[in-house]
Amino acid sequence: MLRTLTFEYLLTPTGLEKGRRLTVGDDGRIATIEPVADGPWDGGFALPGMPNAHSHAFQRALVGVPETRATDSFWSWREAMYTVANALEPEDLKVIAARAFTEMLSAGFTSVGEFHYLHHARDGSRTLDMALAVREAAREAGIRMTLLPVLYQRGGFNRPPAVEQRRFIHESLDEFGRLLEQLRAEPCGVAPHSLRAVPPEILPALVALTDEVLSPRAPLHIHVSEQIREVNECRALYGRPPIACLDDSVTLDERWSLVHATHAEPAEIELLHARRANLVLCPLTEAYLGDGLFALPEFVARGGTFAVGSDSNARLDAVEELRLSEYGQRLVTRRRSVLSGTLGLGLPLWREAAETGARALGQAVGRIVPGAFADLAVLDLENGLFAGVAPEQVLDAWVIGGSAAQIDSVYVGGERRVEHGEPTRRIDSSGFASVMRRLHESMRS
């Protein structure tokens, strides 16, 4: 049975359209888009929901870790992350992930690529329970998910795994393949964690395994060039920086998503664009961890686009990820409108990030067109931020001055998941508070 959703303005691949009615099928996909003369409207300004191209849901539990000298770098923060990771049971992970996924929806993210490496039981014994907990949390929240099981084999370049990493480790591809076999019934890709954690010589066999067990179109994601130390150690061991090393090992293309790429060198930026691999930036987390800034103006000048991810989930706000993408470059270049084009700033940033994120996740989302899922974020045009603003400049105003507070409703597959800014599916707030208290007490002891 077809349902209808009618919006005063609709952002499609061809631009901003006034007065449009969507019909949505039982499968949650858009069947038709038709012009309408007037309301009543289901919403004022509908955008394609933003795919969250990189998330570690369990790291939502790290919000509130003391900001002290003891966690003054990525590497010292990572020790706090290990403490949390090694304290979680499956039921804890489900509660934390459900909270993170619900907050994502309210923030304008309608789908998520969950970069999942918290695989095993606390004692290292093999179990599927952690992955199933994440999947159940996504179902509970109502977000669309591509699960990205992570291959993690070593503790650093030429270093064995540390004790704190035993929950992450698969010692062989055969063992990892058995995990994929158990998870492939629902949307799934594969993520070699990084060249720190997976030797590049293993990658061709990992891609072949992915093709065999999942699909030759299954997404492939990897952390790369996030830290200067990582770049230097890769160069010392392999004679080249990480992206160049990766390109020597596998065929980079649109199937691959490179997360962060913060310290990519000029030749690697050109390589990234030439191979048409997806760039995934996580500006809020990259700032939170003190990673640095990717050379975005150079990449965009070549016609490159990027997806965004919430990564650590320390703060969840899709439009703020885009704002920091722009503002970070303004601080570096000391000029305004660095990423703007002929259509302004907000419209191309949102549209291109949504389309790139959809490619990264292998999902039919990110575009409001027939055949795509009706995953939408709808802005409240009555919000004071938009007073007097022409429709064509609404997204500029939102990127510059707004936040998730201007999102009125969110739909996944045509089903409303957020209404008047509030999730339609309630989560166990007391359970989340209880888990967080226990975790933070254990970190203080």
The domain boundary residue, chosen from 312, 342, 361: 361
Residue 114 — very low, low, confident or very high, per pLDDT cuts 50/70/90? very high
Residue 438 — very low, low, confident or very high, per pLDDT cuts 50/70/90? very high
H helix and E strand count, the chain: 14, 16
Q: What is the mean pLDDT of residues 47-72?
A: 91
Catalytic position from the list 116, 119, 221, 260: 260
- 327 with 355, same domain: the answer is yes
**Mean pLDDT score across all residues of the chain:** 96
Say what the pLDDT of residue 247 is.
97
- 57 with 44, same domain: the answer is no
Say what the pLDDT of residue 1 is.
75
Burial class (CB in 10 A: 0-12, 13-18, 19+), 131: buried
Tokens read off for 109: 């993210």
Q: Is 221 tagged catalytic?
A: no
Mean pLDDT check: name the lowest of 114-128, 157-171, 423-437.
423-437
- 105 with 22, same domain: the answer is no
Q: Is the pLDDT at 445 greater than 90, yes or no?
A: no
Q: Is the pLDDT at 68 greater than 90, yes or no?
A: no
- 162 with 309, same domain: the answer is yes
* Number of domains composing the chain: 2
- 161 with 307, same domain: the answer is yes
Q: Is 56 tagged catalytic?
A: no
Say what the pLDDT of residue 430 is.
87
| 246-267 residue pLDDT tens | 999 999 999 999 999 999 999 9
Assigned domain for 220 exists = yes
Assigned domain for 372 exists = yes
CATH number at residue 71: 3.20.20.140
- 216 with 164, same domain: the answer is yes
Residue 133 — very low, low, confident or very high, per pLDDT cuts 50/70/90? very high
Say what the pLDDT of residue 415 is.
98
- 334 with 396, same domain: the answer is no
Q: What is the mean pLDDT of residues 152-157?
A: 96
- 236 with 382, same domain: the answer is no
Say what the pLDDT of residue 386 is.
98
Burial class (CB in 10 A: 0-12, 13-18, 19+), 130: buried
Distance CA 88, CA 111 (A): 24
- 227 with 107, same domain: the answer is yes
Q: What is the mean pLDDT of residues 182-208?
A: 98
Q: What is the mean pLDDT of residues 358-367?
A: 98
- 212 with 184, same domain: the answer is yes
Q: Is the separation of the CB atoms in 370 and 343 below 8 Å?
A: no
Residue 198 — very low, low, confident or very high, per pLDDT cuts 50/70/90? very high
Strand partners, 159: 156
- 160 with 252, same domain: the answer is yes
Assigned domain for 442 exists = no
Say what the pLDDT of residue 147 is.
98
Catalytic position from the list 42, 92, 247, 311: 311
The 3-class secondary structure across 232-289, one letter per residue, is HHHHHHHCCCHHHHHHHHCCCCCCEEEEECCCCCHHHHHHHHHHCCEEEECHHHHHHC
Percent of residues, the chain, with pLDDT higher than 90:
92
Assigned domain for 317 exists = yes
Give the residue numbers spanning the domain of 210: 50-361
Tokens read off for 434: 């209880």
| 262-301 residue pLDDT tens | 999 999 999 999 999 999 999 999 999 999 999 999 999 9
Give pTM, 2 decimals.
0.97
Assigned domain for 432 exists = no
